[in-house]
Structure 1
Amino acid sequence: MLSRRDTQPKPCGPESSHRRQQEIHDDDIDPWTRIQRLFKMPSQTGLNKLNINHGWPVMVLLPLAGLAKIFHWNPTIVLVVNIAAIIFLSESISISSDELAEHLGELQGALLSATFGNTVELTAGVLALVHGEIAFAQSVMVGSILSDILLIFGCCLVTASYNKEVLEFNSALAKTLSSLMMITAVTMLLPTALYSTFPVSEIDDRVLSFSRGTSLVLLALYGGYLYFYLGTHKHLFLSNESEAGDDDDENNGGSSSADSGASLASSIIRLTTAVAATVFCTELLLESVDDMAQTLGVSEVFIAIVFIPIASNSTEGVTVIAASRTGDTDSAIRVIIDSLLQIGLFVIPFLVIIGWCIAEPMTLFFDSFQTVAMFSAILVVNHLLRDGQYAYIHGAMLLAL
C-alpha cells in the first residue's frame, strides 16, 4: 500500500532541482556549522544591532554582585556572578571603544584599543598592585597570554581546517608577528638569567632596576609596533575585505563617518560606564579570592590564570573563532598576536611603571613554572607560524598543551 507521500506527484522543473540541491547542501553541512547555528552567540550576529537588549544582563548582574558582597553570599556565587558580569562588560567595552575609535583616527583609535582592549587584565593588575598582590597580577598576565595563543588560537585552527587539506598562513605576516612574539618571551627569561648571575643579597635591587629599564624599552618598542602597524606596513595587517571596505569609504567620500558623528557622546558615556562597572566587579572578585580558593579547593594562582583571562577573552574569542570558520586564519592571527603583544609590550611594562610610582616592587621576574610554561607555549606557536602550514591536528595540539 502506498502512503500519501508516495502518491503525491513529484515536482519537476527548476524549482524542484533547486530544492534537491538545497537538500543535498544541507546534508553536506559539517558538525561545526550545525553547532554554530544552534549556539549562535550575540557576538557573531553583531551586538551593534542589539544595543537595546544586550545590556540587560549587566543591569541584572551588577546589583547581584553588590548584594553578594553586602550579604556575604557563598564565594562560588560571587565568582559566577562577577565572572558573568565581566564577560558582558568586556563586550560592551569592545563595542564602545570601536565606536569611539572611528571618531579619533587610526593612531588615536589604536591607542584607545590598546588601552581598553585588555581592560580586565589591566584593572586586575592595577588593583592587585594596590593591594600588594604582585604574584596575582603577574599570574593574570600569564593567563591572558596562554588563553590567547593556546585556547583561542587552537580553537581557530581546528574550526578553520576541519575536513580540509593542509592550509597556509600569510608568510610575511606570520614571520613578522612571530618575531615580535619572541621578544615578549625573551623579556620574561632575562630576569631569570639574572638570578643565576648575582649573589642573593644583591639580586632584588638588580632585577628591579633591570625590569624598570626594560619596561621603558618595551613601551618604546610597542610605540614602534603601532607605527609599523598603522603607518609603513599597514598593508600586511589588512585583509581583502578590509581593503575593499577602505576603497568603498573613499568612494563614498567619508559619508559613513559623518553619519556616526552623532554617537560620539553616547560612545564616551557607554565606555566610561562599562569601564567603571568592570573596575567594580574586578574589585569584588579580588576581595573574595581567598574565600573562593578555599571553597573551590583551588589556588589563587589558578583563579588568576584560568578564570579571569577566560572571562576577559571570551567575547573576543567567540568572534575570532567564528571568523576563522570561513578559513580566514590570517585575521585570527592578527587579533590573537596583537592581543598578546598588548599584554607583553604594553600592559606588563605599564604595570611595572605603575608599581614604580606607588612604591610596589613589580618586576619582570615571574614564577619559574609560569615562565617555563609561557615560554614553551610561545615557542610552539612561533614554530607553527614559521612553518607556514597547519591542519586541525595543530590546533588540537595547542589545546592539549
Structure 2
Amino acid sequence: MARHILHTKILTLLPLAGIVVGILNLPQIIVFTINLLALSVLVDWINRSVNAISVNTGRLTNELLKGTLGNAVELMIGISSVIRGAPHITRSILLGSILCNLLLVLGGSLFFAGYDKNRLRFDRHLTTTLSSLMMVVFIMLATPTALEALSSRHDVSAEEAILTQQATAVNLIALLGIFLFFRLNTHADMFASTPIQHGSSDVQSSHSRTIVQDLQPLAGPWRSLLVLLVASLCALACAFQLVDSVSSIGKTLGTNPSFAALAIIPLVGNITKHRMIVEASRAAQQIERGIRAIINGILRLTMLVAPIIVMVGWALDQPLILKFDEFEATTLLLSIVVMTYLISDGRSNYFEGLMLIGT
C-alpha cells in the first residue's frame, strides 16, 4: 500500500515537474522527456475521467468526449503547434497516431490474440464498412495535398489552399455527424457489440467490468469533471513544452525534427490506451473488439480532432493546411490498403499481426 501511495504521488508530481523544467529552461532533452512522461500520465487520467463521466451521459455525449479528450495527445499538441506556428508538428502527430494505430496497435492485437490459435474470426461486414469510411476520410484529408500535386497550373494561391482545407474540415465534421446518426440511430444494431465503450451495452463483459472497477477512484460526476478539467489544462501546458523542444530533440537524436512527433510522442503518449486495446483483444478472446476500437479511434481522430485543430487555427488567424508530402501521403494510403486487405475476409492470424508490426 505504501509503495502504491508513493507511486501515485510521483505520478502526480510529473506534470508539475514538466512545467517547471520548461520554465527553468533546462536542457531540451530533459524538458522533452519529462513532459512526454507527464503527458502519458495525464492522458491516462483524462481517459479514466471521460470513461467515468460517460457512464452517466448519453451515447452522443460519450462519442464526442471520447473523440476529443479521448485523443488528448493529438488534440493538445495539435492546438499547441498551431499557436506556436509549427504546422509540421501537427501534421506529424496526426500521421504518426494514425500509422501507430493502423500498424503497430492492430498488429499487436492480432499477434497477442492469435499466437496460440489457428485462426481468428470477426465480423467482416462491419469492419469492411468502417474501412471503407476510413478510405473516404483519407481522400478528404489528402485533398490539399492533391490540389498542389495534381494542379495543372502549379500556382495554387495560399487563399485557395486555405479555403480548400477549411471546406474539408467542415465536410469531415458533417460526415461525422451523419456517421454518428447512422451508428447511434438507423443502424445501431450493427454496432451493438462495439467493444471497449465503457458505459455502452457491452459493459457487462468481464474485461469491461475490470476497467469500470479501475475507474472507481474517480467515481462521482463532479470529482471526475474536476479531474478532467485540471488534467486537460495540465496536458495543454505540457504540450506547449513538448512543441518547443521537438526541434532540439531532432538535433540531439540526429533525426528529422518531425521524427519525435511522428514516432515517439504518439507511441509513448498513448501507451496506456494502446495496451488496453491489445489486452482487451486477448482477454476477451475476440479480436473483433480490438479491430473495432482501433478503427473507431482512427475515425474519431481524423473526422473530429483534425477538423477541430484546423478550425482553431482558423479562429486564431493561424491557418493550418494538412498538406502531406508525397512520402507521407503514400505511406498513409498503403497502410490503409494493407489493413483493409488483411481484415476484408473476416479472418486473420498472428503472422498477419507480425506483418503489420514489421510494416
TM-score (norm 1): 0.79
Root mean square deviation of aligned Cα: 2.7
- Give the structure 1 partner of residue 321 of structure 2: 363
Q: 2:248 aligns with which of 291, 314, 326?
A: 291
Equivalent pair of 1:218/1:346 in contact (CA under 8 Å)? yes
Is it true that 1:108 corresponds to 2:61 in the alignment?
A: yes
Deviation, 1:382, is 1.2
Amino acid at match of 1:144: S
1:236-251 → structure 2 map (5 Å cutoff): 236-239=190-193
Equivalent pair of 1:212/1:352 in contact (CA under 8 Å)? yes
- Give the structure 2 partner of residue 337 of structure 1: 295
Q: 2:330 aligns with which of 358, 372, 381?
A: 372
Amino acid at match of 1:221: L
Equivalent pair of 1:178/1:385 in contact (CA under 8 Å)? no
Amino acid at match of 2:233: A
- Give the structure 1 partner of residue 118 of structure 2: 165
Deviation, 1:146, is 0.6
Q: 1:263 aligns with which of 208, 215, 220?
A: 220
Q: Which runs of 5+ in 2 are unaligned?
A: 206-215
Three-state SS of the structure 2 residue aligned to 1:387 is coil
1:2-401 → structure 2 map (5 Å cutoff): 55-195=8-148, 196-239=150-193, 263-326=220-283, 327-401=285-359
Amino acid at match of 1:345: M
Deviation, 1:330, is 1.1
Amino acid at match of 2:175: L
Does the C-alpha gap of structure 1 residues 268 and 176 become closer, same or farther in structure 2, counting only changes over 3 Å?
same
Does the C-alpha gap of structure 1 residues 394 and 262 become closer, same or farther in structure 2, counting only changes over 3 Å?
closer
Distance 1:234 1:311 in 2: 34
Equivalent pair of 1:75/1:292 in contact (CA under 8 Å)? yes
Deviation, 1:298, is 2.0
Does the C-alpha gap of structure 1 residues 211 and 309 become closer, same or farther in structure 2, counting only changes over 3 Å?
same
Deviation, 1:360, is 2.2
Three-state SS of the structure 1 residue aligned to 2:80 is helix
Three-state SS of the structure 2 residue aligned to 1:103 is coil
Q: Which has the higher mean CA deviation after the structures are superposed, 233-242 or 386-395?
A: 233-242
Does the C-alpha gap of structure 1 residues 244 and 79 become closer, same or farther in structure 2, counting only changes over 3 Å?
closer
Deviation, 1:219, is 0.3
Q: What are the superposed Cα offsets for residues 343-378 of structure 1, whole Å, 9 maximum, x if unpaired?
A: 111111222222222222312322221111111111
Equivalent pair of 1:172/1:236 in contact (CA under 8 Å)? no
Q: Which runs of 5+ in 1 are unaligned?
A: 1-49, 249-258
Q: What are the superposed Cα offsets for residues 2-25 of structure 1, whole Å, 9 maximum, x if unpaired?
A: xxxxxxxxxxxxxxxxxxxxxxxx
Three-state SS of the structure 2 residue aligned to 1:117 is helix
Amino acid at match of 2:234: A
Deviation, 1:71, is 3.5
Percent sequence identity over aligned pairs: 31
Equivalent pair of 2:114/2:349 in contact (CA under 8 Å)? yes
Equivalent pair of 2:105/2:274 in contact (CA under 8 Å)? yes
Deviation, 1:138, is 0.9
Deviation, 1:147, is 0.8
Distance 1:284 1:302 in 2: 17
Deviation, 1:322, is 0.8
Distance 1:375 1:381 in 2: 10
Distance 2:305 2:202 in 1: 31
Equivalent pair of 1:57/1:85 in contact (CA under 8 Å)? no
Deviation, 1:201, is 2.8
Does the C-alpha gap of structure 1 residues 170 and 265 become closer, same or farther in structure 2, counting only changes over 3 Å?
same
Amino acid at match of 1:303: A
Deviation, 1:247, is 8.5
How many residues end up aligned between the 2 structures?
343
Amino acid at match of 1:84: L
Equivalent pair of 1:182/1:382 in contact (CA under 8 Å)? no
Q: What are the superposed Cα offsets for residues 206-256 of structure 1, whole Å, 9 maximum, x if unpaired?
A: 3322221121111011112222222222232333999875799xxxxxxxx
Deviation, 1:164, is 1.2
Amino acid at match of 2:236: V
Three-state SS of the structure 2 residue aligned to 1:363 is coil
Q: Which has the higher mean CA deviation after the structures are superposed, 339-348 or 197-206?
A: 197-206
Does the C-alpha gap of structure 1 residues 374 and 244 become closer, same or farther in structure 2, counting only changes over 3 Å?
closer
Three-state SS of the structure 2 residue aligned to 1:202 is coil
Does the C-alpha gap of structure 1 residues 164 and 246 become closer, same or farther in structure 2, counting only changes over 3 Å?
closer
Distance 2:229 2:190 in 1: 32
Amino acid at match of 2:281: S
Equivalent pair of 2:120/2:287 in contact (CA under 8 Å)? no
Amino acid at match of 1:296: L
Q: What are the superposed Cα offsets for residues 36-79 of structure 1, whole Å, 9 maximum, x if unpaired?
A: xxxxxxxxxxxxxx997774233231232234224433322222
Q: Which has the higher mean CA deviation after the structures are superposed, 148-157 or 230-239?
A: 230-239
Amino acid at match of 2:326: S
